[in-house]
Amino acid sequence: MRRSRKVKILATLGPASSDKATILALFKAGADVFRINMSHTAHDKLRELVSIIREIDAEEGRPIGILADLQGPKLRLGTFANKFVEISVGQTFTLDSDPTPGSAGRVYLPHPEILEALEPGHRLLIDDGKVRLRVVSTDGKSALTTVEVGVKLSDRKGVSVPDSTIRTGALTEKDRADLDAALEAKVDWIALSFVQRPEDVAEVRKIAAGRAGIMSKIEKPQAVQRLAEIIEISDALMVARGDLGVEMPLEEVPGIQKQITRACRRAGKPVVVATQMLESMITAPVPTRAEVSDVATAVYEGADAVMLSAESAAGDFPVDAVATMDKIATAVERDSNHKNIMHAQRTEPEATGADAISAAARQIAETLNLAAICCYTASGSTGLRAARERPRTPIIALSPIEATARRLSVVWGLHCVVSEDAYNLDDMVSRACDIAAREGFAQPHDRIIITAGVPLRTPGATNLIRIAFVGGDSASR
């Protein structure tokens, strides 16, 4: 199956999409990667979903990526004696370490790490920002605040602290267990929530030990401030706009989305734009015009992938939501403005032979109007370099390693094919020509360009370009 677009689609699985027939329908509608939200998925269900996706992968002959999204710390208030209290703007309110049920003037905050991190002037956002408190004073065990926004506090509402860096890491005990289960099930990507600093990512990388790619979710101001360091240590990023919009002013989120997308493109790291993209399709068969524009903006920016959350996991129209996103992305990529933007935002290649080869391959392919760019990639780095160039020419990523092909399924423009490794240069050219024709990218006597590393099977050593005629015996350097 060949997609008619280059941006990829992630679809979240859930109650509305957990059987094989629906997952297959989502794939055929356009889903390239499936997200399993570990906040709502038991380990038995995780293994069942992975098994179903792998069956579809084998039956359809197309690598499909699987992303396990870790829950991260859930910071919540304690309880109140009467379940809730009425509050008013300007009043004082205390958060403390006393587990006694709360009253109109105080409540238990069962997170000593927050109380230790708070300083005068810091904000606390309760219940997705419906209540905003400002710290007046703190002694590390309690914090006196004033109410700036809100009229009601109730049991166990979520707490965000956008101005405070909490000393606790991104992994909870639940996350560690979920991470082990996801790695055992051989998922392709791990999405890490609550990233504040590069050390959070390093901890997960050490546990994963290369068994899955690490996708850092950018949802906290602290992560935005250290974006370059987090990009460097991550394999991919996700713009988690929901939580980001709670912890930062809403009007700043679109600019941050562009900042993250462009930084990832410069670094050659995949970036996924997520949250509320087609939110109305949870209950309606068509999206709003504003949602269509939102998806289109991410595609115009050159994001590697766009993601559906509740729309495909729990909505009434999961397959329609994927099909709609597919249609929007396809239409945007056909617009001449999309090509102009991709060209204008293209950055200079890194000062390495492999990056120079990938940039040259893109330029040659576009100048000569070649049918495809075929890149041999064992580790995935050659495929990432080819995609970084955002060429108009289709890219076929050939890998002898199934896990690599699945991991690359989230990357912009890559049509991934699992193929036996070539045993010499002639076989490499012949195999690339045959696959380009078989997959519908080239006709007899079309030309393709091939990039690879010599000696063969040397990860990250892209150093060769060949132009070849499909269906003929000749190939020229």
Q: How many CA atoms lie within 13 A of 179 on its CB side?
A: 27
Q: How many CA atoms lie within 13 A of 406 on its CB side?
A: 22
Q: Is 217 annotated in the active site?
A: yes
- Nearest CA to 397 out of 411, 421, 417, 379 is that of 417
- Can you say whether residue 61 is alpha, beta or left, with left for phi > 0 and alpha for psi between -120 and 50 degrees? left
Residues 240 and 208 sit within 8 Å (Cβ to Cβ): no
Please identify which of the residues 41, 145, 275, 377 carries the catalytic annotation.
275
- Nearest CA to 218 out of 234, 240, 247 is that of 240
Please identify which of the residues 76, 130, 266, 457 carries the catalytic annotation.
76
| Dihedrals phi, psi of 280, to nearest 5 degrees | -65, -20
Please identify which of the residues 8, 123, 217, 269 carries the catalytic annotation.
217
Beta strands in 104-263 (DSSP E): 106-108, 123-126, 131-138, 142-149, 152-154, 159-160, 189-192, 213-218, 236-240
| CA distance linking residue 101 with residue 352, whole number of Å | 61
End-to-end CA, the chain:
31
Q: Is 404 annotated in the active site?
A: no
Q: H or E segment at 25?
A: helix 20-29
| CA distance linking residue 421 with residue 117, whole number of Å | 53
Residues 254 and 298 sit within 8 Å (Cβ to Cβ): no
414 burial (CB, 10 Å; 0-12 / 13-18 / 19+) is buried
Q: Is 211 annotated in the active site?
A: no
Please identify which of the residues 5, 8, 35, 265 carries the catalytic annotation.
35
Q: Is 76 annotated in the active site?
A: yes
Which residue matches tokens 């996991």? Answer: 313
| CA distance linking residue 447 with residue 201, whole number of Å | 43
Catalytic machinery residues: 35, 76, 217, 275
